[in-house]
Amino acid sequence: MHQLQKQYQDQIVELAESSVRLAELGYVTSHGGNLSYRVAEDVVLITPTKVAKRKVTFDDVCIIDMSGQVLYTKEGRKPTGETPFHLRIFQLRPDLTGLVHAHPPVMTGFAIANTDLLTKAFLPEPIIEVGPMVTVEYAEPLSDELAQAFDDKLPYANAFLMKNHGAIVTSPDGVERALEFFEMMEAAAKSILVAKLLGGAEEIAKDDVGNLERTMKTRGLPMPGAPGKVNGLLELFFK
């Protein structure tokens, strides 16, 4: 075993298991989607290119530094072609450690419809845990333009709907937590869609979101976005 594999054994297991789970959830098809986990200031675990997420094993997980240089890969493996946006997001948001990108059917439908429904205050749990999911303009997959498309949104959100493409959800607490948040957002999108089909989706009242904001502050929970950038939920959900 490579020395870095030994050093970050638990986190590599976490990434490989999250990759398989992502596929089981049906959020990716073929070689689509990718996951990463920053385990030290200059060490990032990331899924390989051209391997189905359901087949990613411990040895398949690539280890790179923050400039994209390979520190370890199994023979024949290369980090995902979407490495640039993973690293860009980690560079601009040093507080984040876990990142999941996939093409879940319902949220991707929202991304094609170009709706801002996921920036609205419909459900308390996603509001507190993730915050608004903001839309990032379309750019070609694997391009530097796609990596830069996040720049102006990154200080104010932890989750991103990629227009005509898919979704990204991040976490300050590792990649498994990012995947749990991803599931939460896809479930929320389904519920919002059902509400729309049943005649309408009603937002939580502004006063009630203010109460959630107070609860978060009392419990010392971090606001979505970069530390210190966002003072409260009301400014995020009621602009």
- The footprint of Zn ion (CB under 5 A) covers 166
**Closest approach of Cβ 74 to Zn ion, in Å?**
23
Residue 101 or 177 with smaller CB distance to Zn ion? 101
Distance of CA 30 to the CA centre of its chain: 19
User: Could you tell me which residues are beta bridge partners of residue 134?
Assistant: 160
Q: Which is nearer to Zn ion, 93 or 101 (CB)?
A: 101
Pair 184, 126: CB distance under 8 Å: yes
Alpha-carbon distance of 159 to 119, in angstroms, equals: 10
C-alpha–C-alpha distance, residues 204 and 144, integer Å: 38
* Least distance from Zn ion to the Cβ atom of residue 168, Å: 9
Of 14 and 82, nearer to Zn ion (C-beta) is 82
Closest approach, Cβ 177 to Zn ion, in A, equals 21
Euclidean distance between the first and the last CA atom of the chain, given in angstroms as a whole number = 51
Residue 98 tokens, joined: 């876990």
Residue nearest to Zn ion (CB): 166
Residue nearer to Zn ion on the CB measure, 27 or 122 = 27
In the bound complex, what is the minimum distance in angstroms from residue 141's beta carbon to Zn ion? Answer: 6
